[in-house]
Structure 1
C-alpha cells in the first residue's frame, strides 16, 4: 500500500475519558521530544480542558474532533497518524469502526479491551485487510492482558533457552489492590447483556480457544475453568476466581497459536486470584467466589441492576488520585515443561492496576507503535501484546518501574 502523508506520529482517541486522561498525562511526561501527538475526542472544548492540565511540553499538541459514529471523521483520524490508541468503550459498541479505519489506512492500533466478543469480531472482519496494509492491530494493552501475555512469553523463552521443551501446566496467581471505574462497569454490563441475548456470544465466551486464528487446528487439551470456586496454589495460598481470566487466558492462547503453538501444543493455562493463607484466606476466597456470582446475577436482573446503578461509579468516574497511587499489582506465574523443569515468572508494579499501572502499559504500547516499529516483531494484522511488541515492551516496562522476572525452579 502506498504510504500516506501523516500529520501525527500518535493520536490518543478518547482522551477526555477517565482512563484517557491518565494516559494523556503519561504520554505528556514520557513522549520523546519531537513526537507529533494529537488528542482526539467528540468535544474540542473537553479536549482543551484535558490539554490545559498537562505539562508545558503537551500544550502544543493538536486537538482533533472525531466520533465513533461518524466514519468520515475516523477515516481522517486514522489516515493522519502513524499510530492510534483508543480508550473509547465499550468496544463492542464503539470500537469496530475505529479498527476498520486503522486497518484501511495501514495505521497501527492499540486498545484496552477485555471484551472477547469484540476482539473476535475485529479479527474476523479486519485481520486480513490489516495484514495487507501493514497495520498492527493490538488489543488488550492494559492490565488485561499485558502482564499475563508477557509473563507467559518470558516463561516460554526461558524454557526454550534451556532446551526444556514446551510449557505444559501454567497458572497465574494474581494479587492486587485497586478499584473500578464507571467505564469498566459499563463494559462488564455490556458483555453480560450480550451473552444473555445471543447464544453465539455465550458459546464464544465458553470456548477457551475463542480467539484462535484457526479454531479447527487447536488441540483438544482441556483448559482450567475461568470461573471456578475456591482452590489452593502450589505454594499453599488460597485462591478464588479471577474476573479477568476469561479475557486474559484467550489472549495468551492466541499468542501461542499465532506463533505456531511455540509455547507448547498441549499447554494448559489458567488464572486465579491469591487471597491469603490459612483459615482467613479460605474465608476471603469463598466470599470472593460467591460475590462474583452474586454480582453477575444482580446485573442480570432489572430491579437489582437499578439498585446497583445507584452505588457503582458512572462512566467517567473512577478511583481518586490517592487511591490510584496506593494501589499495586503482583502476578506470579508458575510453569511446568515437557522435560520436567519448572519456572516461575513474577510481574509486578506500583499503582492501581486498572488505572495508574494501565496508563503506564498503554502509554508504552502507544509510544512503541508510534516510534519504534523497526525494533518490533515483523508481524502485522490482528495481534496480541506478546506477538506485536514482545520483549521490546518488556524492556520498556522494566525501565518504567515494572518488574518482569523469570526464575528456574528445578
Structure 2
C-alpha cells in the first residue's frame, strides 16, 4: 500500500553509515515489489556511492541532522523514516520531532535512555495528534527483549494462567561484537549525565521511560546489576549468571510496554536481564568479572586519561565486522517467568547474524516494512512515542518468523 500524496514509502536516513548500508541492502533484497525506497543523509556523493554499490535506482534525499527545514521536507516526503544516525541524543532530536509533526512513522536503533525520555516528553502528544508512530529501539536494542516478553505474556493469557510476576531474560548464547555506534552513544550519554545530576537520576531510574512514574508499582531496582545463580532462575540453567550489558536500557523499554498497555503483563511484573558465562566451577568468578569489567569501562570512559586510551582501543563509529562475521554471528535469549497463578513459562528469541549488525538490520528493516505494508493489522495504539511491542506487536513477530527468527513461548 502506498500513499500517492508522498514521494516515498521508506527513507533510510544515514544510509552511507555501516548499519545504514546493511539495512538498505536488506530492503533492496526483501522489500515487496512496488515499495518506494530512498536513501537519505548529509552527503549526496556518499549516498550516490551506496546506491551504485547496491545496484538500485532509488532517489536521494539530502538533509543534515541539524537542518530543521530540510528534515521537515524529508519527513513530509515519506511514510516511514528509518534512521541509523547516532548518538541520537546528539543527532536525532530534530528528525524525530519532524516525523512526529508530519505524521510520519519513524524507527531507529537507539539504546539511549536520555534520548528516548526526551523524545517521549517532546514528541508523544504531537504524534498522538498526527497519528505518527515514533518507534525507538528497533534493533538488538530492544526488539528481542520487548517481543520476548510480549509473546510470553500472550501465551500465559491465552492459557488463563494469570499475569506475569518474576520474569528473567537470560542471554544463553551469543556471538558478535559491540558496535562502534553503541560505544559512541554510551560515551555521549556519560558526558551528559556527568554534568547534570538530575539526568543521572533519570538514567538510573528503572521506570525512566514509563509514561507515568506515579502509576508504577514499587518493586525496587529488580536486580539489573546483580549476579545470580542460574538455578534460581530455572533448574536447567547452570553456573552463575552475569548482568547483561544492555539490561539498563532494555528493561526500561519492556516496562514502558507494560504501562502503555494498561499493565497487561501485570502490576507485580518484575523484570531483569542476565547473561550466561558458562557452567564451569569458575562461572561465579567470571560473572563477577563481567560485572566489575563493565563498571570499569563506564568509569574509564568518564575519566579523561583512561578515556583517551579506551578511545584508541574501542570500535569506531561507522565501522563494523566483515560480511562473513555478520553472517556467522547469532544470539539466543531465553525468558523465564512465574505467573500470578504459579504457572511457569519459557519464551525464546533466537536469530542468526551478528546481533549489532546482521540481525539488527533485519529487525530494523522489517519494522519499517510492517509500518508500510501491514498498517491495518498493527496494534490499535494509534500514534505516539511507542515501543516495538505496542506499535508493531504480532505483525512484527510474524514478519521476523518469516525472516528466519525463532520466537516461541510455551508452558513448562
Structure 2 length normalisation: TM-score?
Answer: 0.96
Partner Cα separation in structure 2 for residue 190 and residue 4 of structure 1 = 40
Alignment of 1:31-180 (within 5 A): 31-54=31-54, 56=55, 59-174=56-171, 175-180=173-178
Partner Cα separation in structure 2 for residue 14 and residue 397 of structure 1 = 23
**Which shows bigger deviation, 203-212 or 225-234?**
225-234
Q: Is the 8 A contact 2:229 2:238 kept in 1?
A: no
Q: Which residue of 1 aligns with 2:325?
A: 323
Helix, strand or coil: the match of 2:178? coil
Q: Is the 8 A contact 1:349 1:403 kept in 2?
A: yes
Alignment of 1:278-317 (within 5 A): 278-317=280-319
Partner Cα separation in structure 1 for residue 285 and residue 25 of structure 2 = 40
Q: Cα deviations across residues 2-57 of structure 1 (Å, max 9, x unaligned)?
A: x9920001111010111111101110100111111010000011001111111x4x
Partner Cα separation in structure 2 for residue 182 and residue 393 of structure 1 = 27
Partner Cα separation in structure 2 for residue 36 and residue 169 of structure 1 = 44
Task: Give the deviation of 1:63 after TM superposition.
Answer: 0.9
**Which shows bigger deviation, 22-31 or 279-288?**
279-288
Helix, strand or coil: the match of 2:137? coil
Q: Which residue of 2 aligns with 1:248?
A: 250
Partner Cα separation in structure 2 for residue 109 and residue 103 of structure 1 = 8
Identify the match of residue 373 of structure 2 among 366, 371, 374.
Answer: 371
Task: Give the deviation of 1:280 after TM superposition.
Answer: 3.6
Q: Is the 8 A contact 1:4 1:79 kept in 2?
A: no
Partner Cα separation in structure 1 for residue 325 and residue 282 of structure 2 = 25
Closer, same or farther in 2 for the Cα pair 1:348/1:102, shift >3 Å? same
Helix, strand or coil: the match of 1:336? strand
Q: Is the 8 A contact 1:230 1:289 kept in 2?
A: no
Identify the match of residue 205 of structure 1 among 203, 206, 218.
Answer: 203
Q: Cα deviations across residues 214-246 of structure 1 (Å, max 9, x unaligned)?
A: 111111122423223454343224211111001
Partner Cα separation in structure 2 for residue 238 and residue 327 of structure 1 = 24
Partner Cα separation in structure 2 for residue 325 and residue 203 of structure 1 = 39
Unaligned residue ranges in structure 2 (runs of 5+): none
**Which shows bigger deviation, 340-349 or 188-197?**
188-197
RMSD, matched Cα: 1.3
Partner Cα separation in structure 1 for residue 50 and residue 285 of structure 2 = 44
Partner Cα separation in structure 2 for residue 319 and residue 197 of structure 1 = 34
Unaligned residue ranges in structure 1 (runs of 5+): none
Partner Cα separation in structure 2 for residue 310 and residue 9 of structure 1 = 40
Identify the match of residue 336 of structure 2 among 324, 334, 337.
Answer: 334
Partner Cα separation in structure 2 for residue 181 and residue 218 of structure 1 = 33
Helix, strand or coil: the match of 1:276? coil
Partner Cα separation in structure 1 for residue 371 and residue 85 of structure 2 = 18
Q: Is the 8 A contact 2:227 2:240 kept in 1?
A: no
Partner Cα separation in structure 1 for residue 387 and residue 275 of structure 2 = 23
Q: Is the 8 A contact 1:239 1:285 kept in 2?
A: yes
Partner Cα separation in structure 2 for residue 290 and residue 231 of structure 1 = 17
Q: Cα deviations across residues 153-175 of structure 1 (Å, max 9, x unaligned)?
A: 11111111111111000000013
* 2:192 matches 1:194: yes
Task: Give the deviation of 1:350 after TM superposition.
Answer: 0.7
When the two structures are aligned, how many residues end up with a matched partner?
404
Structure 1 length normalisation: TM-score?
Answer: 0.96
Partner Cα separation in structure 2 for residue 241 and residue 170 of structure 1 = 14
* 2:356 matches 1:354: yes
Q: Is the 8 A contact 2:334 2:348 kept in 1?
A: yes
**Which shows bigger deviation, 198-207 or 109-118?**
198-207
Q: Is the 8 A contact 1:106 1:134 kept in 2?
A: yes
